[in-house]
Amino acid sequence: MTYVKLQELIDAQFHHRCSTWERGNITNFVASDLMSDVLTVDDEDFVLVTSLTSDQVARTADIVGARAILLVNGKQPQNRLIELVGELNISLLSCKERMFKTCYILGRALSEEGISL
Amino acid sequence: MTAGFPLDPVTGPSRILELLYNMKVRDVMSADIKTASRHSPLRDIQILMKENSITGVPIVEGSRLVGMVSMDDIIRALEDGRIGHPAESGMSRNLIVLEDDMPLSFAISYMEKYHFGRFPVINKNRELVGIITSRDIIVHLLISINRELEQLEEQDRAPAQQALEGSLNRKWYTHKFDFEEAGKASTEIKKIMKEKRPDIPPKLLRRIAVAGYELEMNQVVHSEGGHIEFQLDADAAVIRAEDRGPGIPDLENALTEGWSTANEWVRSLGFGAGMGLPNTRRVADEFTIESDESGTRAKAIFYLYKSGEE
């Protein structure tokens, strides 16, 4: 899934685009508000879906090698988070939909692209 | 940092940062406070200020803080002819308070943020225990900085230790509940590894970064603060985490997934799910930990040229 498609599907807004976002092909999402849990996931190159907006979201994404962060529930990032994802070269998006609906829409789109979850 | 306080609590020298986090509001505040009741006439408070050369008087009911009368409030009362009215008619009610066990860095950020000359200080039971002014901060910081400088000069006279040939050592400090800085060490460890050992498998790099981050967050969430040391040798990377206590009473439980003593506030930041130590042990090639009241010492070792990893 491209970032353009993701943006259309859930009406997401970009706050930062990483240097390779146009070439990005999303094949996996990890959704959690517990960064501790995200740190135990062995997947790579995923988009982190969360409603947390602390700095630690960007740090965690960097540590586990996530490509992008998607904030749900209408959460808006603070300037600090935007600066930090800039430093770490991670894309940051937000959308108004709640976590479950976001995951449902994105999961369905991934299956349509032939990616099993 | 904005102009005003020439001490940056984020990028300042590490010795000074240590001071700012180790010194507590209670070490710096004045505990000898002049207070008044909500029924005291503003005129009496004006006299109290003059006699004691102070610019703000907390209004209390027993030991509970209910308001604050500042010099500005007195001037306003004088202008409006209300100087004979009771304190409660002229006091500020929406008070910004500090807690006595907060690090001094909090007091400095509050001074910058709110531009008040003083903050009332309360304890855990929300009782008024003191008052802190920018003057208090400056005086105590100068004393402590002096002491630190003396120590540094002392050390300078001692011969410097030579770093081991071919290995790299770095050290970062962590501070209790300092979530803004937490994670910097692991971000840098990852950067160092990418730079010095671009050939190591991405999965290994990630294991090292995750262990560093977990150990760092553990110190921020559970300890009084400590440090993270990173050592990169030819064939291994080692992360050592040492803190200043209070120690883990039940190590076996702490190594069990889901067991946590973190409070709600920490959990609301996305941590304290009880996965930290088990996860560190999982990702490390070797993991040892020991703990007593003086602190917790953990060590995670990663072998750089173990075969089989992508």
Confidence of residue B158 (pLDDT cuts 50, 70, 90): low
Task: Output the CA angle B90-B55-B127, nearest 5 degrees.
Answer: 75
Q: Is the peptide bond prior to B249 cis by the omega test (within 30 degrees of 0)?
A: no
Q: Is the CA virtual torsion A34, A36, A37, A42 positive or negative? A: positive
Looking at chain B, the whole-number percentage of residues with pLDDT higher than 90 is: 47
Residue B306, pLDDT above cutoff 80: no
The residue of B260, B275, B277, B280 whose CB has the most chain A CBs within 10 angstroms, and thus the best one to mutate to test that interface, is B275
Instruction: Say what the pLDDT of residue B6 is.
Output: 63
- Model ipTM? 0.85
Judge: B190–A39 Cβ closer than 8 Å, yes or no. no
Instruction: Say what the pLDDT of residue A112 is.
Output: 93
A51 secondary structure, DSSP code? S
Residue B116, pLDDT above cutoff 60: yes
Cβ contacts of B179 on chain A, cutoff 8 Å: 54-56
Which of A13 and B245 is assigned the larger pLDDT? A13
Give how far the C-alpha of residue B41 lies from the chain's centroid of Cα atoms, to the nearest Å.
40
* Nearest CA among A24, A75, A13, A68 for reference residue A46: A68
Instruction: Say what the pLDDT of residue B162 is.
Output: 43
Q: What is the pTM of this model?
A: 0.62
Q: Which 3 state secondary structure label does DSSP give A13?
A: strand
Q: Scanning every residue of chain A, which has its alpha carbon at the shortest distance from the alpha carbon of B208?
A: A63
- Per-residue pLDDT, averaged over B152-179, amounts to 72
Judge: B279–A39 Cβ closer than 8 Å, yes or no. yes
Provide the angle, in degrees to the nearest 10, between the axes of the packed helices B202-222 and B184-196.
160
The residue of B210, B214, B218 whose CB has the most chain A CBs within 10 angstroms, and thus the best one to mutate to test that interface, is B210
Instruction: Say what the pLDDT of residue B9 is.
Output: 58
Burial (CB < 10 A; 0-12, 13-18, 19+), residue B77, is buried
Instruction: Say what the pLDDT of residue B163 is.
Output: 47
Query: Chain B within 8 Å of A22 (Cβ-Cβ)?
Result: no
Instruction: Say what the pLDDT of residue B63 is.
Output: 86
Nearest-CA distance A116 → chain B (Å): 23
Nearest to B179 among A56, A62, A63 (CB): A56
pLDDT digits (tens, 9 = 90+) for A90-109: 999 999 999 999 999 999 99
Q: Scanning every residue of chain A, which has its alpha carbon at the shortest distance from the alpha carbon of B218?
A: A36
Q: Scanning every residue of chain B, which has its alpha carbon at the shortest distance from the alpha carbon of A43?
A: B203
- The 10 Å Cβ neighbour count of residue B151 is 11
Nearest-CA distance A15 → chain B (Å): 20
Instruction: Say what the pLDDT of residue B296 is.
Output: 94
Nearest-CA distance A22 → chain B (Å): 23
**Residue B15 and residue B9: Cα distance in Å, rounded?**
11
Residue B260, pLDDT above cutoff 90: no
Give how far the C-alpha of residue A18 lies from the chain's centroid of Cα atoms, to the nearest Å.
12
Residue B3, pLDDT above cutoff 60: no
Which of A85 and B252 is assigned the larger pLDDT? A85
**Residue B135 and residue B143: Cα distance in Å, rounded?**
12
Mean per-residue pLDDT over chain B, rounded? 86
